[in-house]
A and B are shown apart, each in its own frame.
Chain A
Amino acid sequence: MTGGAVERIAVASDQDVVRVRQLVRTVAVAVKLSLVDQTKLVTAASELARNTLVYGGGGTVEVTRVENGRRSGIRIVFADDGPGIPDLDLALTDGYTTGGGLGLGLSGARRLVDEFDIDTAVGRGTTISVTKWCR
């Protein structure tokens, strides 16, 4: 898998979450994801960017166009230096929340993308990488 230009947004406020959505939408259109896949990816990005802000205390989002030979896609990496996730299995369970939300952000976002990797440790922060490929 090879990557193209990386665009980065610092996430420190509600407004930055909106900027992440807009950037992801722009790149998703450029990569020619289908309308449903654009919608899924932008929604997943919105959930994860909000998590970066609310649970991670802010961080960065990087959006990259990627190729794997025959298909193009988008990879988005959400990184924070927050408290980390103590029980990942629990955090990935539908309906589990510590923040007063619906508990669908993490588990729901995972269903909306093709690849989902999470690296987290208590006190070290959380990095989540998602990829969506053109069909």
Chain B
Amino acid sequence: MERVPVLKIGDILLVSIQIDMEDQVTLQLQEDLADRIVATGCHGVIIDISALDIVDSFVGRTLATIASISRVLDAETVVVGMRPAVAITLVELGLSLPGIRTALNVDLGMELLAAGRAENGETEADDTDEPAVTTP
């Protein structure tokens, strides 16, 4: 079975779905992401679906589930790169992905996550435990 890679970039986990996923692969991604969020302590997840030419109800539901799981694990999920035809089809299908934050591309997704963190009053640049610089 193929597997979708989960990349860690700074405080963000990035997933770029490049294959037509079997249902089992979709579910595996859900598990892998939950594991990686806990293992890395990342606070943001970006799922890039720009290569997907369809999102059906199964994939849509899984994206919503991933967003919920992430939130419970203290990470925000942003789905980025949805094609216009996919958006039109999803809404007609009856799936408007409530509870999922979206952005047009990875850059904007990262901005959205950064803005969300800042809003929460978290100055977690300190997260990296850098020693305080003291000047004599």
Contact = CB atoms under 8 A, between A and B. Distances in A.
Interface stretch (B3-11, B52-60, B70-78): B52-60
Contacts, number: 73
Contacts of B34: none
A5 to B, nearest CB: 24
Contact of B94 (A22, A38, A111): A111
Interface in B13-28: 20-24
A108 B58 contact: no
B25 to A, nearest CB: 8
Given A14-B24, A18-B20, A36-B89, A43 B56 contact: yes
A46 B54 contact: yes
Interface in A36-54: 36, 38-40, 42-43, 46-47, 50
A104 interface: yes
Chain B: interface residue count, which band?
20 to 34
A74 interface: no
A17 B20 CA distance: 10
A112 B58 CA distance: 16
Contact of A101 (B21, B22, B57, B89): B57
B60 to A, nearest CB: 8
A108 B95 contact: yes
Nearest to A15: B22
Given A36-B88, A112-B89, A104 B54 contact: no
B85 interface: yes
Contacts of A39: 53-54, 83, 85-86, 88-89
B22 A104 contact: no
Nearest to A39: B85
A105 B21 CA distance: 17
B88 to A, nearest CB: 6
Interface in B43-92: 53-58, 60-61, 83-86, 88-89, 92
A122 to B, nearest CB: 25
A102 B57 contact: yes
B93 A111 contact: yes
Nearest to A100: B61
A94 interface: yes
B94 to A, nearest CB: 5
A40 B56 contact: no
Given A40-B92, A94-B94, A47 B56 contact: yes
B89 A105 contact: no
9 contacts: A14-B22, A22-B20, A38-B53, A46-B56, A47-B57, A50-B56, A102-B61, A109-B93, A111-B93
